[in-house]
Amino acid sequence: VKTAASAAPPSSGYTDRWLQRNLLNFSELALHPTLLANLRDQGFERPTPIQAESIPPALAGKNLVGLAQTGTGKTAAFVLPILQRLSAGRPGGVRALIVTPTRELAEQVNATVVSLGRGMGLRSAVIYGGVGMIPQERALRAGVDIVVACPGRLLDHMGRGTVRLDRVEILVLDEADRMFDMGFLPAIRRILQALPAKRQTMLFSATLAPELRELVASAAPEAVTVQIGQVRPAHTIAHALYPVPNHHKTGLLLELLRHANTGSVLIFTRTKHRANRLLQLIVREGHSAAA
Ligand code: AMP
**Taking Cα atoms as reference points, which of 114, 70, 93, 46 lies closest to residue 199?**
93
**Taking Cα atoms as reference points, which of 108, 184, 107 lies closest to residue 151?**
184
- C-beta of residue 193 within 8 angstroms of C-beta of residue 200: no
Return the pLDDT at 16.
Answer: 53
* Pairwise CA distance, residues 185 & 271, whole Å: 39
Most ligand 1 atoms within 8 A of CB, residue of 40, 42, 46, 50 to mutate: 42
pLDDT category, 225, cuts 50, 70, 90?
Answer: very high
For residue 211, the SS3 value is: helix
Can you say whether residue 64 is alpha, beta or left, with left for phi > 0 and alpha for psi between -120 and 50 degrees?
Answer: beta
Return the pLDDT at 235.
Answer: 65
* Pairwise CA distance, residues 119 & 107, whole Å: 20
Q: Mean pLDDT over all residues of the chain? A: 90
Return the pLDDT at 231.
Answer: 55
* Pairwise CA distance, residues 168 & 96, whole Å: 5
* Pairwise CA distance, residues 9 & 5, whole Å: 9
19 in contact with ligand 1, CB cutoff 6 A = no
What tens digit of pLDDT does each residue of 7-40 get?
455 555 555 555 555 557 898 888 999 999 999 9
pLDDT category, 239, cuts 50, 70, 90?
Answer: confident
Half-sphere exposure of 3 (CA within 13 A, CB side): 12
Least confident of 120-124, 229-233, 247-251: 229-233
Looking at residues 229-254, what average pLDDT do you find?
80
Percent of the chain with pLDDT over 70: 89
What tens digit of pLDDT does each residue of 103-127 get?
999 999 999 999 999 999 999 999 9
Residue nearest atom 15 in ligand 1 by C-alpha distance: 73
Residue nearest atom 21 in ligand 1 by C-alpha distance: 44
Residue nearest atom 18 in ligand 1 by C-alpha distance: 44
Return the pLDDT at 11.
Answer: 56
72 in contact with ligand 1, CB cutoff 6 A = yes
CA of 99 to the centre of ligand 1 (A): 19
Output phi, psi for 205, to 5 deg: -160, 150
What tens digit of pLDDT does each residue of 64-79 get?
999 998 888 999 999 9
* Pairwise CA distance, residues 4 & 10, whole Å: 12
Query: For residue 123, how many other CB atoms are within 10 A of its CB?
Result: 16
115 in contact with ligand 1, CB cutoff 6 A = no
- C-beta of residue 72 within 8 angstroms of C-beta of residue 228: yes
Amino acid identity at 125: A
38 in contact with ligand 1, CB cutoff 6 A = no
Q: Which atom of ligand 1 is nearest to the CA of 68?
A: 2
CA of 76 to the centre of ligand 1 (A): 7
Q: DSSP letters of 132-168?
A: -HHHHHHHHHH--SEEEE-HHHHHHHHHHT----TT-
Return the pLDDT at 29.
Answer: 87
* Pairwise CA distance, residues 275 & 289, whole Å: 11
Sign of dihedral through CA atoms 148, 152, 153, 159? positive
What angle, 0 to 180 degrees and rounded to 10, lies between the N-to-C axes of helices 151-160 and 133-142?
Answer: 70
